[in-house]
Structure 1
Amino acid sequence: MEAWALSTEDDRPFILCEYSHAMGNSNGGLADYWAVMEKYPGLQGGFIWDWVDQGLVALNAEGLEYWAYGGDFGDEPNDRDFCCNGLVFPDRSPKPALSECAWLFRPLVAEFDRKTRGSAALRIRVTSRYDFSMPAPIELRWSLIADGASILSGSLALPPLEPGASLSLELGPDTLEPARLSASEGERFLDLDFVLAESVRWAPRGHRLAWEQLPLPALPKSAARSATATDPRPWRLGFSAEGFLESMQLDGFECLSAPLVMNLWRAPTENDGIKTLLGQQDLPHYAFYHQDKALPRWLDCGLDELVYTLLSMDGAIPSSSADLNASDADDQDGQAGLFIRHEVRTAKGSRVGLFSQSWKRGAAGPVAAFSFQFDPSLPELPRVGLATALAPGFDRLSWYGRGPEESYADRKSGARFGIYSARIDELSTRYIVPQESGNRCDTRWLKLMHDSGVSLRVKGHGSVSGNGFDFSASRYGVEQLWKASHWHELSAENHAFLYLDVAQRGLGTASCGPDAHERFKLPPADYRLELSFEPDSEA
């Protein structure tokens, strides 16, 4: 597409037909397309297939409504769920991909103005992408964010801006005043929201037209502010004979209901492979649906079921300083800890590689490093990380990272950094065919909250992003999602499944279009995930 824009002598606009397919959890890679489209005026845009899922309301045996698709009515032949490929669900409620579109298609864009350099005030440059007119008066709301919290905010009226024109704005005097910035150490952003200042026929006052999140240079945290005081509450870890963490107690309260194990499997998206058509993969009419898909390769080597062989388990299990006697304390300092190594294969016998764990005592709780060394003969991977289940009663969480919607490596431009809160039941997206959903990437910390008031904060980073990790939490485990064809077939557990990942594979749009770009795939290489687990208050 870019090569055409650079070489063509044709003065007609270039419009893509069906360049992205919105089937299930999809539309990865849109940001790459739009970076090129906005760069060259001859590239006008394209069509996403399509607007709405063509599912129909049906009732199951218990009288519960669900979205039905091909084959659910006894119709033969059929293409199963290949009619469910919209940016919105059949009832027109939006899918998370629509947030990505809203940001990429925004009519106003902003960047820092070069005049900000050497000034005590923040200045931005706003450009209109409108072609013909501006809507009603626009209000610009801005906020200076440090580690997810607003430290300064304001608003101003956006001056009239002609289509295609730009203007420079000063947000307010002394917005970069040194004393104020000294209190905003860490990761900092300038958040901008362009909203309607008056109601119009199609939207109310305050309706957001566009937003930006502009990164400011991060300041190193001072030792006094960044150091975490040792938590006086005791914590204790327990490991199984197989070499996996099976117990994490905070003040005697058990946080886990299943071991923390290595995990590579995700419930396949329809871009990974259309599971409802796996039984027809050898029929000529259905060959297209399975061509060059990742799912058959994953199943052929058995990535959905791993088998572990414990190679070594050396050292002492770390515990809190409050739980140690004087003779034990010295052994827990420095490099002392528990070191575990597994060889991993699939149930089908394919060699996966080596999985190593290191557990030590940190200032406020246990710290762990996980190393994944994969056999080069493996296919590219669905995800690389850990899986466990929380004790019943962990129903809420908050996180600092991208949100509030789900996000993936190749579909995250529309998810901005912030501190978000949700109930576990609110994190999954109910795609018509159950599949991977609810991932949040570039997470800095995650706080898990129990109904009793016990709270656990997880911090860390993986080797793919270098600054954060991926997480998802759901009442439905990967195995249950993988086996189900409709949501009404699922049964919510009374505990939450928690997944902590170095990264997940990108989404792409391979159900009917290009797969995820190579840089969003996870080749069988070496990966590392470092996490800390800290008792936290309910504040």
Structure 2
Amino acid sequence: MHYEGVHWDPRYPQTSDVVSQMYTPAVEIEQYLAIHRDKPFMLCEYAHSMGNSFGAVERYLDLADREPLFQGGFIWDWVDQGLLTKDENGNAYFAYGGDFKSKHYHHDENFCMNGVIWPDRRPNPQLYEVKKVYQNIQIKAVDLSKGIISLTNEFCFTNLNQFQFSWNLIKNGKKIHEGKFTTDIAPLSSKEIRLNIPQITIQEGEEYFLNIYAFTTKGTDLVPQGHNVAYEQLAFSNNQYFNAIVPEISGTKPQLTKKNNILEIQAGDVTAVFNTDLNPNESYKTGLQQYAKNGKQVLEESLQPNFWRAPIDNDFGAQVQRKLSVWRSAGYNRLLKNVEIKEGNNSVTVIFNYRLPDVGADYVQSYKVRADGSILSDIVYTTENKDLTEIPRFGSVITLPVSFDNYMYYGRGPVENYVDRNDAAMLGIYESKVKDQYVPYLRPQENGNKTDIRWLTLTDGDGFGLRVEAPQPMGVTALHNASEDFDPGMTKKHMHINDIYPKNEVVLSLDLFQRGLGGTNSWGRLPLDEYRYANKTYRFSYQLSIIQK
């Protein structure tokens, strides 16, 4: 028997056979069990899945693996409890607290929207993470250079001979070898397996992964034959993808022309135009303003610094929308102090030195236009401000034509993922449409992110568009909406999915980082410390180039 109330009133401990609590962080459970060894511990509710949430849940599963007294917990909860209805224009949405003309009564807004599936029982991105961290086959690397892995069977009654296993050897996101195997591993036991993978030598600019999958060989009323029940992506220890040196580009030096506040750099058939206006009222327009090939533009407006995300429900619960709100407009309110120009043998570099008065920081963004028309952008952020301790996000926003709807990237996917919720998302090359990146959280909020991006392309139907690559992993969103479309401000404003309309543009966010989602609870707990980012010096680089497939 379990009774959570004993936690609050310990006078009658014999009332409950187990220690039962709600929403206790994994680290605190471990500390508790280090002292109290008389009863098992369980969470009668945990992992509050309200909106875009479910961060770092694997910490609880890791604890359950190494601590026999921790019995796990019950995710709160299964399904978003919304009611399908329509607005006055006939647009469908899921209603929650305060709808149906009840705003004048007490209600908890969208606090009934805590599920890992939508009200119509379709899975939302959190369910994929549930499946991954709950899988009963654990796969680990032993010595990948020799193809040796270990399998642990966590099923209580099922032998792993009931599954067909397959493996793929992946180089820079592409499958180069594959194979299948079966194995006999009894319940609750482990075994090492040697796979017949080819010998590889990893060069600079390369990375290899071994993807392992387990599929059912027989169908049941619940699970069909051939269903994937477990998978893992194992990285080779000597991967060197980000060790590659950016090569120098030979060719004719780009031509620079100046006219008033406009710098134009011509590199063959590619043109880059920079706005250098020192008028404080025009600073938000400065920087790279146009980027074109044979007169065909890829930019809709100037690149913008970005330090903010549309608050998720966990952010509102912790009052982040108020406590960190100074970052909302910190990039927009930048002041251009001066512009430097450096001409090299095969390049022209334009350096914009900004002051961010809202947050007491300096922000320097340089653009190196090379002979082939590609642009290396380097951002350096420094601050003397000791009062602001955290930056919620750090990156750039690029607005592109709406026709650039073909999205390809090398990073984690295909499901939406964040720095503390990406176990389910394997590194690979994925293709999609920008419109399909939108995740319709029933109260609109930050959505659609992908982590560990190496490169991406956004192109129109003719294969013309923009390529972005980076010397470090990026977080990326590509949507037909800007972040502010999902941001209601200081209060939630009772927004629903019918308040969101796709815009005639593609908004690309490139991030060095974005704070984690959290999810320990939705009423004050912050993401784990390792998924929050201190206000300190940062450097972020990426390369832009125009492509024609």
TM-score normalised by the chain length of structure 2: 0.83
Report matched runs for 1:374-393 at 5 Å.
Answer: 374=383, 375-393=385-403
TM-fit CA distance, 1:305: 7.3
Query: Could you tell me which residue of structure 2 aligns to residue 464 of structure 1?
Result: none
Provide the rounded CA distance (Å) in 2 between the counterparts of 1:225 and 1:332: 18
Report matched runs for 1:294-373 at 5 Å.
Answer: 294-299=320-325, 303=329, 306-315=332-341, 331-333=343-345, 336-345=348-357, 350-362=358-370, 364=372, 365-373=374-382
The 8 Å contact of residues 307 and 328 in structure 2, kept in 1 or not, is answered as no
Provide the rounded CA distance (Å) in 2 between the counterparts of 1:334 and 1:486: 52
Shift in alpha-carbon separation, 1:183–1:506, aligned structure 2, 3 A:
closer
Query: Could you tell me which residue of structure 2 aligns to residue 147 of structure 1?
Result: 172
Query: Could you tell me which residue of structure 1 aligns to residue 14 of structure 2?
Result: none
TM-fit CA distance, 1:334: 7.2
Q: Which of residues 163, 169, 190 is equivalent to 2:210?
A: 190
Q: Which of residues 93, 110, 116 is equivalent to 1:81?
A: 110
TM-fit CA distance, 1:355: 1.3
The 8 Å contact of residues 333 and 361 in structure 1, kept in 2 or not, is answered as no
Secondary structure of 2:445's aligned partner: coil
State which drifts further: 332-341 or 400-409: 332-341
Q: Which of residues 533, 537, 544 is equivalent to 1:522?
A: 533
The 8 Å contact of residues 29 and 411 in structure 1, kept in 2 or not, is answered as yes
TM-fit CA distance, 1:261: 1.1
Query: Could you tell me which residue of structure 2 aligns to residue 44 of structure 1?
Result: 71
The 8 Å contact of residues 351 and 364 in structure 2, kept in 1 or not, is answered as yes
Provide the rounded CA distance (Å) in 2 between the counterparts of 1:508 and 1:222: 28
Deviation by residue 1:341-373 (Cα, 9 ceiling, x = unmatched): 11113xxxx334111111113475110101122
Query: Could you tell me which residue of structure 1 aligns to residue 45 of structure 2?
Result: 18
The 8 Å contact of residues 109 and 127 in structure 1, kept in 2 or not, is answered as yes
Provide the rounded CA distance (Å) in 2 between the counterparts of 1:137 and 1:527: 50
Is residue 105 of structure 2 the alignment partner of residue 105 of structure 1? no
Provide the rounded CA distance (Å) in 2 between the counterparts of 1:491 and 1:220: 42
Q: Which of residues 140, 155, 162 is equivalent to 2:186?
A: 162
Deviation by residue 1:112-145 (Cα, 9 ceiling, x = unmatched): 235x66x4xx122111011233488201110000
Shift in alpha-carbon separation, 1:300–1:528, aligned structure 2, 3 A:
closer
TM-fit CA distance, 1:227: 5.2
State which drifts further: 356-365 or 467-476: 356-365
Provide the rounded CA distance (Å) in 1 between the counterparts of 2:324 and 2:433: 32
Provide the rounded CA distance (Å) in 2 between the counterparts of 1:164 and 1:363: 60
TM-fit CA distance, 1:528: 1.3
Query: Could you tell me which residue of structure 2 aligns to residue 278 of structure 1?
Result: none
Q: Which of residues 166, 173, 176 is equivalent to 2:198?
A: 176
Q: Which of residues 273, 281, 284 is equivalent to 1:238?
A: 273
The 8 Å contact of residues 185 and 218 in structure 1, kept in 2 or not, is answered as no
The 8 Å contact of residues 363 and 382 in structure 2, kept in 1 or not, is answered as yes
Secondary structure of 1:361's aligned partner: strand
Query: Could you tell me which residue of structure 2 aligns to residue 534 of structure 1?
Result: 545
Query: Could you tell me which residue of structure 1 aligns to residue 22 of structure 2?
Result: none
Provide the rounded CA distance (Å) in 2 between the counterparts of 1:2 and 1:130: 24
Q: Which of residues 31, 41, 44 is equivalent to 1:3?
A: 31
Query: Could you tell me which residue of structure 2 aligns to residue 501 of structure 1?
Result: 511
Query: Could you tell me which residue of structure 1 aligns to residue 233 of structure 2?
Result: 213
Query: Could you tell me which residue of structure 1 aligns to residue 222 of structure 2?
Result: 202
Deviation by residue 1:283-312 (Cα, 9 ceiling, x = unmatched): xxxxxx5xx432211236764773121101
TM-score normalised by the chain length of structure 1: 0.84
Shift in alpha-carbon separation, 1:221–1:436, aligned structure 2, 3 A:
closer
Provide the rounded CA distance (Å) in 2 between the counterparts of 1:513 and 1:206: 42
The 8 Å contact of residues 445 and 457 in structure 1, kept in 2 or not, is answered as yes
Unpaired segments ≥5 residues, structure 2: 1-28, 252-266, 278-282
Query: Could you tell me which residue of structure 1 aligns to residue 263 of structure 2?
Result: none
Size of the aligned set, in residue pairs, is: 488
Instruction: Give the letter for the 1:84 counterpart.
Output: M
Deviation by residue 1:262-282 (Cα, 9 ceiling, x = unmatched): 111211101110xxxxxxxxx
What is the identity percentage for the equivalent residue pairs of Structure 1 and Structure 2?
Answer: 29
Shift in alpha-carbon separation, 1:55–1:219, aligned structure 2, 3 A:
closer
Secondary structure of 1:388's aligned partner: strand
Secondary structure of 1:104's aligned partner: helix
Instruction: Give the letter for the 1:395 counterpart.
Output: D
Shift in alpha-carbon separation, 1:149–1:79, aligned structure 2, 3 A:
same
Report matched runs for 1:48-63 at 5 Å.
Answer: 48-63=75-90
Shift in alpha-carbon separation, 1:249–1:91, aligned structure 2, 3 A:
same
TM-fit CA distance, 1:78: 0.9
Instruction: Give the letter for the 1:112 counterpart.
Output: A
CA RMSD of aligned residues (A): 2.6
Is residue 498 of structure 2 the alignment partner of residue 488 of structure 1? yes
Provide the rounded CA distance (Å) in 2 between the counterparts of 1:97 and 1:230: 47
TM-fit CA distance, 1:5: 3.6
State which drifts further: 438-447 or 222-231: 222-231
Deviation by residue 1:421-470 (Cα, 9 ceiling, x = unmatched): 11000112100011000111111111111223213210114xxxxx3111
TM-fit CA distance, 1:50: 0.8
The 8 Å contact of residues 20 and 48 in structure 1, kept in 2 or not, is answered as yes
Provide the rounded CA distance (Å) in 1 between the counterparts of 2:244 and 2:52: 44
